[in-house]
Every structure is written in C-alpha cells, then in structure tokens.
C-alpha cells in the first residue's frame, strides 16, 4: 500500500514537473520571438493571401539588370494596398541574390527616443514563417556607442520594419535580419549609427541595408510631386549634405530620414557609388484622391567591391569612341538617366499643376550650356519635338523647358494631356557645338545633324532622321531645304547657303543606348 502511494506520488510529481518545465520552455521561447503586430492591418494576415499579393506585385515589375553590386534599398512602408507595388520594384532586383544578413532601419512612429533601438530577440515571425535575427551582429552594433541600445517598447506597435520582411522572405533564401528603429532625427546620430554598422560588419559577411521610409505627407498632389522630386534628385545625386540641408529647411520630407541618411552614409563607406530611382508614386495615384497624399519611392543603392572592376568598366566605356574631343562631350549612363527623369517629372508635374518644377542639379556636365531636343512618341509615332540648336541655358534646364514645349507647343500636334503620359515615350538629343562645313562630303549620314541657313530662312534635321528615312546625303539635304527651311530643294548647292553640322547623343526611355 505504501509502495503504491510512493509510486503515485512520484508519477504525479513527474507529471507536474513536466508541465512546469514545458510551460517554462514555452515562456522562454515566446520571449525569444517577435510576433507580427500589423498583420491584418498593413498586409493580409493569411499566409496564402499575403503570398499571392506579393507575387502579384512582383509579376508587375519587369526583370532588369543593374550595373554594380546591390548594397542597399530605400523602400516605402505604408499599407501594401498603397505602397506595396512601389516597394516591389526594389525587391524584384533581389531575386536570385544572396545576403547573409539584412539590416533594416525604420523610424519609430509611436515612441520617441534618442539614437537607435535594437530588439533583443532571436527570431522574427510573419505570416510567411519565422526568420533568425543576427544576434551577433546586433550585439556588436549595440556595443559600439551608448546612443545605440536594446529597447523593446518602440517595437510593440511599429510597422516600418515589419512590412519589409514578407517581401524579403519571398525573394531571398537563408538570410538573417538586424532590425534597427531610429529615434529623433539628428544627422550626428546618423553618422554615429552608420559608423557602428560599418565597423561591425565582418569582411566575409555579405550584408544588405534597407532604409524604410515614405516621402512627403498630406500635401496636395502637385506640391507633393514637387517636394518628392527634389528629395529624389538629392538621393540620386548621392548628395547627403544637400539632403540634410533640405530636410532642415523642410522642403524635403522623409518620415524615415534618419534611416535614409544612415544607410547612405553606411553604403558610401562600404563602396557605394550610385542611387537609382526605380519607381515613384503617391497615394493619390492609387486612390485618385489628390487633396492629401503620401509619397512613396523605391530606390536601389549600388557600388563595386573591387577597384579593378570599376577601372575595367571605365576603360570599356572609353573604348566606345576613339575621338577624344567627342568623347569628352558624351554623357554617361547616370547623366542620361537623370535627364530622362527630369523630362518625365517635368511633364507629370506641369500637366497636373501648371507649375514648372525646379531641380537641384550639381553635375558640372548637366550645368553646361548645350543645345538639345526633346522628342515625344506615342505608339511609335511622333507626338512632339522641339529643341534649341545652340544652348542658351544650362543643359538640364533646356531639357526641362523643351519637354514642356514639345508637349504643349508643337503646332503640328494638339497638346499632350495628362491622361496620355503613360503612353508617351521620351527621347532626348544632346548636341555638340556647331561646325560650319564647306564640303557636304564631310556630312556623315546617321552621325551628323545638319542646319541649312540662308538669310532669315533656316532648317534643321537631327542625325536620326537619316536612319529613320534611309535617305542618301542628297535626298537628306534636298528635303531639309524644301521641307524645313522653305528653300528650293537644290539650295544646298548655292555658295551663299551656310551649312552647319553637329553630332547628337540620342537616348530615350524606350531604347536606351
């Protein structure tokens, strides 16, 4: 009898010990995981619906190659129905990439503090599953400065980091994260945090940095486009000091400014060279309500890990043209992209608001006085073309002004409407200085544009006219005289007719050279 009591007591004790041990284990495991706080609000709670939504966003983005190594993203953090499609433009580039760790910096919207707050957890959960936190890298960052600490309270309601993670789970495999919430914006704190991040990354570890931010908040559509255009220009110029200055002047707005500045500083120290806009939109483009909108952008930060790679790319570009004089006049890919974006944003802004936008452009080449044309095509048909042969303004201003002129004041066509813009392809021709020729044999078809001038009559054909028509030199010159200058078709043979040639670097949104 006593033995039965003893056995029962032992079994009962083991049972309750097991329950206690399991409860303690569950409690500890629960304490190691950060659970989602905005699932069902900012994005679907259902795994299946969330997967389907992200996959749809990614399918809407065409695959594209990018020069250099991907080092960072700047990505929006609104609800997926508002900014998810914009975010997908950045995450599309991560498909097929590998990163050991992704450091995600987002602003704290609900708890105010100084410096940066990291999360002392081992795992982060979303409806798509649980991923590991890189606790070693996180602790190293925390140990670098007293302004950087573990602080859990800001994470209890925060969405800025959380909304980035499901995208990462869809496009990457086997990665860890380091979540970092930034407090009150201060450029000095950004530099401290950037140094702590860079100093903590081991040489053998491949790391991606993400700055989670929306742009301007609650302005009318036109003003938002102007403010966001300035912000994006500064980002694409990689102008950290200029961005800081304009944030302080309040003509740039980023709710995640601290994270953006920190990521720019960090990536620059790690070898980043370029920031490229992939997509811009605002909530008015989604809801069609334009009285109070929020701006969203997706940008990618790239660079080269090897100086030799940079050198080889430079040599490759130089070998494209052996004429040193003309080579000096050529725009690089970044400058061409910048001008196309200026033309596009100018049309979007001016057609919506009738306000000519301003851009902060520091590039010396884009601030030279150069002749240029802006050509608009719709469904592969000419929709407008106006330009200046001789540069009377700096190049970027000429492109801005000629974009408006081509859209609204080419008398051959009705004015372009705002509704047409998504069907319009923009082409830009940047001209070299004029050279007068006495012998028409010097005119190279497809390379040279030509100006015919006699008295007050003048006409011009751009170089691409020869390629588009297949004309011989004589047919080209005869058509130029009769169709453009209002002269007899054979006037180009007269001794008192002035003939000038120029080259044009032609590039466009549809077919980039």
Residue 330, CA distances (Å) to 17, 36, 140 in order? 78, 51, 46
CA 241 to chain centre: 19
Q: Where do the domains of the chain lie?
A: 29-308, 324-430, 435-507
d(CA 478, CA 490): 6
**CB proximity list for 87: less than 8 A, separation 6 or greater:** 57, 75, 76, 80, 163, 164, 167, 296, 298
Confidence of residue 315 (pLDDT cuts 50, 70, 90): very low
Q: What is the DSSP string of 232-262?
A: HHHHHTT-HHHHHHHHHHTSS--TTHHHHHH
Do 324-430 and 29-308 fall under one CATH topology?
no
The residue with greater pLDDT, 510 or 125, is: 125
* Separation between Cα atoms, residue 29 and residue 406, nearest integer Å: 64
Inform me whether the pLDDT recorded for 467 exceeds 60: yes
Higher pLDDT, 197 or 7: 197
Dist. CA 227–CA 223, nearest whole Å: 6
Q: Would you state the pLDDT for residue 316? A: 37
3-state secondary structure 184-215: CCCHHHHHHHHHHHHHHCCCCCCEEEEEECCC
Calpha distance 45→139 (Å, rounded):
31
Residue 322: the pLDDT is 35
**Strand ranges in 29-175 using DSSP code E only, listed in sequence order:** 33-34, 69-75, 101-107, 116-118, 123-126, 129-132, 148-150
Asked if residues 468 and 454 have their Cβ atoms less than 8 Å apart, the reply is no
What gap in Å lies between CA 506 and CA 513, rounded to an integer?
8
Alpha-carbon span 490 to 497, nearest angstrom: 11
Q: What percent of the chain clears pLDDT 70, i.e. is strictly above it? A: 88
pLDDT of 317: 41
Examine the pLDDT at 154 and tell me if it is beyond 90. yes
Per residue in 247-260, pLDDT tens?
999 999 999 999 99
Phi/psi at 212 (5° precision)? -95, 115
Whether pLDDT at 183 is above 60: yes
- Full 3-state SS string of 324-392: HHHHHHCCCHHHHHHHHHHHHHHHHHHHHHCCCCCCCCCCCHHHCECCEEEEEEECCEEEEEEEECCCC
pLDDT higher than 80, residue 320: no
The CATH architecture annotation of domain 435-507 reads 2-Layer Sandwich (3.30)
Strands 116-118 and 148-150: parallel
3-state helix, strand, coil in the chain (%, to 5): 45, 25, 35
Superfamily name with CATH number, domain 324-430: Hypothetical protein ph0010; domain 1 (3.30.700.20)
What is the pLDDT of the chain when averaged over all its residues?
Answer: 87
pTM of model > 0.85 = no
Check whether domain 29-308 has CATH 3.40.50.970, yes or no: no
Question: H or E segment at 178?
Answer: strand 176-182
Identity of the highest mean pLDDT range in 180-189, 306-315, 479-488: 180-189
Residue 15 has pLDDT above 80, yes or no: no
Sequence-separated contacts (24+) of 437-442 with Cβ below 8 Å? 437/499, 437/500, 437/501, 438/499, 440/473, 440/477, 440/492, 440/499, 442/501
Whole-angstrom distance, CA of residue 127 vs CA of residue 39? 8
Of 17-26, 167-176, 373-382, the least confident: 17-26
Handedness of CA 201, 207, 209, 210 (dihedral sign): negative
> Mean pLDDT over residues 276-282, rounded?
95
Task: Grade residue 387 by pLDDT with cuts at 50, 70 and 90.
Answer: confident
Contacts of 26 (CB under 8 A, 6+ apart): none
How far is 340 from 425, CA to CA, in rounded Å?
10
SS3 323: coil
Mean pLDDT over 411-424 rounds to 92
Cα 289-295-300 angle, rounded to 5 deg: 145
Compute the average pLDDT of residues 419-426. Answer: 93
Cα separation of 306 and 310, whole Å? 7
pLDDT confidence of residue 181 = 98
Q: What's the mean pLDDT in 283-289?
A: 93
Q: What pLDDT sits at residue 2?
A: 53
Q: Is the pLDDT of residue 188 over 90?
A: yes
Instruction: Enumerate helices (H) and strands (E) in the chain, giving the number of each.
Output: 16, 19
Residue 468 banded pLDDT, cuts 50, 70, 90: confident
| C-alpha–C-alpha distance, residues 401 and 407, integer Å | 10
Query: Which residues fall within 8 angstroms of residue 387, CB to CB, at 6 or more apart?
Result: 371, 372, 373, 374, 398, 402, 406, 429
């Amino acid at each position: 009898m006593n033995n039965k009591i003893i056995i029962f007591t032992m079994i009962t004790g083991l049972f309750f010990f097991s329950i206690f041990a399991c409860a303690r284990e569950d409690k500890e495991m629960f304490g190691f995981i950060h659970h989602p706080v905005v699932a069902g609000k900012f994005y679907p709670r259902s795994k299946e619906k969330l997967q389907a939504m992200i996959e749809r966003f990614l399918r809407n983005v065409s695959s594209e190659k990018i020069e250099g190594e991907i080092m960072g993203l700047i990505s929006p953090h609104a609800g997926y129905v508002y900014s998810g499609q914009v975010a997908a433009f950045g995450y599309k580039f991560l498909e097929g990439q590998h990163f050991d760790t992704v450091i995600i910096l987002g602003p704290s919207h609900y708890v105010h503090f100084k410096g940066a707050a990291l999360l002392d957890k081992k795992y982060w959960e979303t409806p798509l599953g649980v991923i590991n936190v890189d606790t070693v890298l996180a602790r190293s960052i925390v140990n670098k400065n007293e302004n950087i600490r573990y602080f859990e309270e800001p994470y209890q309601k925060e969405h800025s980091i959380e909304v980035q993670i499901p995208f990462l789970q869809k496009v990457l495999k086997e990665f860890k994260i380091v979540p970092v919430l930034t407090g009150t914006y201060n450029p000095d704190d950004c530099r401290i945090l950037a140094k702590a991040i860079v100093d903590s990354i081991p040489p053998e570890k491949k790391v991606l940095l993400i700055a989670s931010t929306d742009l301007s908040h609650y302005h009318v559509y036109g003003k938002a486009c102007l403010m966001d255009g300035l912000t994006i220009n500064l980002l694409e110029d990689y102008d950290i000091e200029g961005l800081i200055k304009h944030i302080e002047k309040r003509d740039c707005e980023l709710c995640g400014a601290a994270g953006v500045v920190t990521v720019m500083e960090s990536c620059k120290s790690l070898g980043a060279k370029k920031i490229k806009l992939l997509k811009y939109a605002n909530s008015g483009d989604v809801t069609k309500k334009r009285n109070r909108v929020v701006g969203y952008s997706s940008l990618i930060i790239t660079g080269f890990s090897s100086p030799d790679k940079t050198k080889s790319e430079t040599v490759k570009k130089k070998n494209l043209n052996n004429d040193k004089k003309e080579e000096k006049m050529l725009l690089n890919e970044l400058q061409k992209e910048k001008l196309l974006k200026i033309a596009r944003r100018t049309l979007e802004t001016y057609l919506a608001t009738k306000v000519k936008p301003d851009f902060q452009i520091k590039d010396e080449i884009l601030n030279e006085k150069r002749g240029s044309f802006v050509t608009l095509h719709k469904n592969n048909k000419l929709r407008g073309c106006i330009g200046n042969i001789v540069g009377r303004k700096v190049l970027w201003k000429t492109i801005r002004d000629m974009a408006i002129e081509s859209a609204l004041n080419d008398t051959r066509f009705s004015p372009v409407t705002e509704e047409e813009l998504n069907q319009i392809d923009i082409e830009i021709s940047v001209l070299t200085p004029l050279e007068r020729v006495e012998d028409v044999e010097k005119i190279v078809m497809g390379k040279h544009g030509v100006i015919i001038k006699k008295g007050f009559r003048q006409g011009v054909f751009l170089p691409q006219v020869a390629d588009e028509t297949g004309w011989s030199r004589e047919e080209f010159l005869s058509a130029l005289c009769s169709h453009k200058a209002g002269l007899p078709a054979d006037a180009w043979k007269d001794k008192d007719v002035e003939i000038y040639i120029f080259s044009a670097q032609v590039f466009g949104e549809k077919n980039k050279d």
